[in-house]
Every structure is written in C-alpha cells, then in structure tokens.
Amino acid sequence: MLDLSRELGREDRRFAILGEGNTSVRISEQEFMVKASGSSLSNLSRSGVALCRTQPVLELFQDPEASDDEIERVLLHARRSDNERKPSTEALFHAFLLSLPDIHFVGHTHPEAVNALLCSPHAADFASKRLFPDQIVCCGATSPLVPYVHPGVPLALAIKHEVEAHIERFGDVPRLVMLCNHGLIALGKTPNAVLAATLMAEKAARIFLGAASIGGPQFMEDTQVARIAGWNAEHYRQKVLGL
Ligand SMILES: [Zn+2]
C-alpha cells in the first residue's frame, strides 16, 4: 500500500499533489488501513496511515444526516489504537469498496486529464465509452459515474449506489469509479491493478482530449468493446499483469 501510494503520488504523474488522494488496503474482514488525514501520497510512511476497524465506519452509512463532528468522532473511535492517526473522511467509501468481492486495494486520486473531463460536459461519455483496447483491459468495459455530492456520508452513499447498480447490471465489480467534479477511484485485487487502471485512465483522458481537439473522439462500438472484454487472450494478459 505504501509503494502504491508513492507511485500514485509521483509528482511527474500529476495524479495528486499536497494532501490530495488516498489509498487503502483490506487487512481482514474486520480491519483495513487507510491514509490518514493530512498526509501526502508521495512520501507516505506507516506513520501516515491509520489501521481501523471496518464495522464502525460502515455503520455511518445508516446515518445520511451525520454531522462533520459525528463523522470525526466515529472515525477516531474506529482506530485500532490511540497511536493511529485520524483517518481521512474518504475512509467511508474505502471501507465500502474494500468490502466488495476480490477487492483488496483502493487508490483514489485527482488526475489532471481525467479531471479535465470529469469537470466537463463529456464526463458521462468518458466514463461509459471506450477509445482503445488496452483501456478496456485495464479500466474495464465501462465505469460508474457518480454525480457531484458533498464529501462525507452523502458521497460514500452515492458511490455505493452507483457501484451496486453497476454490479447488478453488468455482473462484475468495476475497476474504476468516476466522480464528477472530483476525481477517480481505482479498485483491485493487487496494487498493480490499481496503478494500471489509474495510469491507463489518465492516458485515455489525454487521448480523449487530443481527439476532441481534431473533431473527435470516435468511440469503439459496443460490440467491439464487448469482444475485447470477453476475449480469452486478454483475460490471460490481465492475469499475467496481475490485474
Ligand atoms: Zn478526493
């Protein structure tokens, strides 16, 4: 998780600066670790991470009206010990995503090109359509898009709603979740899967922006996307790449 954080926080990649973004890992059914509030991805160490109990954090989902003070109280209470720092408020959606089947790592960033699209009228096209085969391999055939809502419980509930709708409709856990006017969440079984999905999403966003400047983009057709997504050779590559 620390290595993944430093990869995602690399200044040259422009995914996150200062205290932006956060990462997490599932430790067991009952516990997870998440970046602490105020620490930086680029040089994250154990002291910048909080070991938390999952259940108290998930219980916040029952209280959409929870105040900022109440959220802070629950997050402090969820820590394994008083030596742990206060978890980021975004720990709420991390706790939910880490409860999904086969999801062990989550990386949330604010990549520049991805955010250019998520702060534009093209957000829905970027989330649901695909431009090239490797984007499908690393990012999945389509991604849920979450409209802008206030951080904290409302955002966590909106993410849960869109991810559950995606699972219901497509029968698989998405690799990416896109947040309008906010950023990107990559989720996977391994740190590599999270890094690959983030890198490829940012590359796809740059290609989208480039294509838009010359009259495009021209998206792949649904049947072409489905063929790549279901292609055995690609599944083999995903396995080899640890995706
Ligand atoms: Zn964020």
Between the CA of 146 and the centroid of ligand 1 the distance, in Å, is: 13
Contact 224, 137 (CB under 8 A): no
Q: Which helix (H) or strand (E) holds 35?
A: strand 31-35
Q: Distance between CA atoms of 172 and 140, rounded to whole angstroms?
A: 10
The fold for domain 2-240 equals: L-fuculose-1-phosphate Aldolase (3.40.225)
Count of CA atoms in the C-beta half-sphere (13 A) of 242: 10
Between the CA of 99 and the centroid of ligand 1 the distance, in Å, is: 19
Residue type, 206: R
Between the CA of 225 and the centroid of ligand 1 the distance, in Å, is: 29
pLDDT at position 185 is 98
Q: Distance between CA atoms of 162 and 127, rounded to whole angstroms?
A: 12
Sheet of strand 145-146, all strands in order from the earlier edge strand to the far edge: 49-53, 31-35, 22-26, 105-109, 183-188, 176-179, 145-146
pLDDT at position 188 is 97
Would you list the domain boundaries of the chain?
A: 2-240
pLDDT at position 230 is 85
pLDDT at position 64 is 86
Alpha carbon of residue 25 to chain centroid: 12
Alpha carbon of residue 117 to chain centroid: 16
Within the chain, where are the H helices?
2-8, 54-59, 68-78, 91-97, 112-118, 123-128, 133-139, 153-170, 191-212, 222-229, 232-240
Between the CA of 8 and the centroid of ligand 1 the distance, in Å, is: 13
pLDDT at position 237 is 65
Q: Work out the number of other CB atoms within 10 angstroms of the CB of residue 73.
A: 12
Q: Which helix (H) or strand (E) holds 178?
A: strand 176-179
Residue type, 36: A
Provide the whole-model pTM: 0.94
Between the CA of 22 and the centroid of ligand 1 the distance, in Å, is: 7
Between the CA of 55 and the centroid of ligand 1 the distance, in Å, is: 22
Q: Distance between CA atoms of 166 and 173, rounded to whole angstroms?
A: 7
pLDDT per residue of the chain (243 residues) written in tens, 0 to 9? 999 999 999 999 999 999 999 999 999 999 999 999 989 999 999 999 999 999 999 999 998 888 989 999 999 999 999 999 999 899 999 999 999 999 999 999 999 999 999 999 999 999 999 999 999 999 999 999 999 999 989 999 999 999 999 999 999 999 999 999 999 999 999 999 999 999 999 999 999 999 999 999 999 999 999 999 987 556 766 666 766
Between the CA of 148 and the centroid of ligand 1 the distance, in Å, is: 11
Two tokens, residue 170: 């497509």
Between the CA of 20 and the centroid of ligand 1 the distance, in Å, is: 6
| Helices (runs of H) and strands (runs of E) counted in the chain | 11, 7
- Least Cα distance to 79 among 57, 101, 105 occurs for 57
